[in-house]
Structure 1
Amino acid sequence: MSVIRCKVCGMTRPEDALLAADLGADAIGVIFYSGSKRYVSPAQAERVVRALPPFVTAVGLMVNMAADEIGAILQQVPLDVLQFHGDESPAFCRQFGRPYIKAVRVGAREHIQAAADAYADARALLFDAAVAGQYGGTGQTFDWQMLPEHLNSPWILSGGLNPDNITQAIVQTRAMAVDIASGVESSPGIKDAAKMAALMEGIKRAELQLPQ
């Protein structure tokens, strides 16, 4: 059976991160972008990440931050993976001694292949909706038909995913990893236990429908 990997992003409270892990999330994300409604300080992020059980990946989301700012965060917060949502170059992304994910705001099919070529050493590409002036977390989907049938780079589906559409999204796109934030919240940064549980059930339903 196919196993779909799931990251729940925008964590602000240790108890939410721990519950996501207990429900089966493979990774959680903390956001260091001050323009986000889910922003956390390094001290707050440290509390969230240190609450995680072993083998749950901690991902730190950055948007156009200075290298020394990221370095200072890494000295305090035990992050496993960095996720870049801004205009960071491949050379910038790879300098921190961590695997990295590069977010791609998908407005056209050619954006996907261009990113795959440019960020060939990324741990994965993350495909999100292109919304003017915003760097993710919009709660909007994009046209999944723009996704290529074959892409040599590992990739993650994001943007507007929630318990109501997660099964369809995975079955239609054949995504092997998904990233959710607003779709499992009661308010920005506060996760809803029932929504997270429903999302995980939706992922399990999708796994049963995928070709074996």
Structure 2
Amino acid sequence: MKRPFVKFCGFRRAEDVQLASRLPVDALGFILVPGRRRTVTREDLPDLIRYVSPAQMAIGVLQNPTWEEVKSWLKLVPFSGIQLHGEESAAFCRKLKSTFSVHVTKVIHIQEQADPMEELEVYRPWVDAILLDKEAGNIRGGTGQSFAWDSIPSWKESCRKAEIPLWIAGGINEANVVDLIKHYQPDGIDVSSGIEKNQQKDGATMRLFIERVEKACQQ
């Protein structure tokens, strides 16, 4: 089974980035949304980014940013990808993609009545991945809560037709990642709280998570 793209997200400490940079992780994410527990300041971000391995993508996570905010972050650090967690339009994604040529991930928060193909159609030309996540009240992402995985197959089928990779986030950890991969075979996995202990990134938990991912792909 093909190994999914693995993104570890929510880094705030240099020592955690250094640990993750030595693991077979495809991307490290940094929360730039104000007011979150894992939010990174403009002062700390450059020091964190320099520890990301050249083999890994550095992804900035934003929610409903202004265009000036996007330009400011990309001027500050050389992100290879931007992840959009809000109601950003297809036109915004197009401008981002065409101006900066970064990898663009558009997050879609699962709603019971959402039509996958209708959601994807407007974004298809301008995004490199669709990430399904759980919305908890007005908090988007980073909740540690999962959505109903039985909705994944319809999204996966629509993403295949649109030729867009489908990533999954929300409540993924070392205890359930094997089931996720075996039963749904997502193209990518995005995890933050699932690699933490006591609300801090944990090296042993990160290593165990990767071991479980590799185990699932070997079965």
1:88-107 paired onto structure 2 within 5 Å? 88-96=88-96, 97=100, 98-107=102-111
Once the two structures are overlaid, the 10-residue window that deviates more, 158-167 or 17-26, is 17-26
Matches within 5 A, 1:41-190: 41-96=41-96, 97=100, 98-108=102-112, 110-120=114-124, 121-147=126-152, 148=154, 149-150=156-157, 151-152=159-160, 153-188=164-199, 190=200
One-letter amino acid matched to 1:119: Y
Is the contact between residue 4 and residue 185 of structure 2 (CA under 8 Å) also seen in structure 1?
Answer: no
CA-CA distance at 1:67 after TM superposition: 1.0
Secondary structure in 2 aligned to 1:117?
helix
Q: Kindly indicate whether the alpha-carbon contact (under 8 Å) linking 1:7 and 1:26 is maintained by their aligned counterparts in 2.
A: yes
Find the residue that maps to 1:119 and give its secondary structure.
helix
Partner-residue secondary structure (3-state), 2:139: coil
Which of 165, 181, 191 is the matching residue for 2:201? 191
User: Quick one: which amino acid aligns to residue 171 of structure 1?
Assistant: K
Write out per-residue CA displacement over residues 150-191 of structure 1, whole angstroms, 9 at most, x where no aligned residue: 222211011000111111111111112100001111244x31
1:125 is displaced (CA, Å) by 0.3
Q: Secondary structure of 1:39's partner? A: coil
1:64-115 Cα shifts (integer Å, max 9, x gaps): 1211011111111110000000111011123231221000111226343333
Amino acid paired to 2:145: Q
- Per-residue CA deviation, residues 132-164 of structure 1 (Å, 9 max, x unaligned), is 211111101111111215222211011000111
Q: Distance in 2 between matches of 1:145 and 1:26?
A: 26
Does the aligned pair in 2 maintain the 1:21–1:27 contact within 8 Å?
Answer: no
Shift in CA distance, 17/82, structure 1 to aligned 2, threshold 3 Å: same
Greater Cα offset, 87-96 or 75-84 = 87-96
- Say which SS state the counterpart of residue 51 (structure 1) adopts: coil
Structure 1 residues 33-84: Cα deviation after superposition (integer angstroms, max 9, x where no partner): 0131100012312211111121210000001121101111111111000000
CA distance in 2, matches of 1:9, 1:112: 25
| Unaligned segments of structure 2, at least 5 residues | none
Output the amino acid matched with 1:198: L
Aligned-residue sequence identity (percent) comes to 31
Q: Equivalent residue of 2:61, what SS?
A: strand
State the aligned residue count.
208
Q: RMSD of aligned C-alpha atoms?
A: 1.5
Question: Residue type of the partner of 2:39?
Answer: Y
Compare 148-157 and 83-92 and name the one that shifted more.
Answer: 148-157
| Contact kept? 2:21, 2:51, Cα under 8 Å | no
The SS at the match of 1:53 is coil
- Under a length normalisation based on structure 1, what TM-score does the superposition of the two structures give? 0.92
User: Which moved further from structure 2: 23-32 or 109-118?
Assistant: 109-118
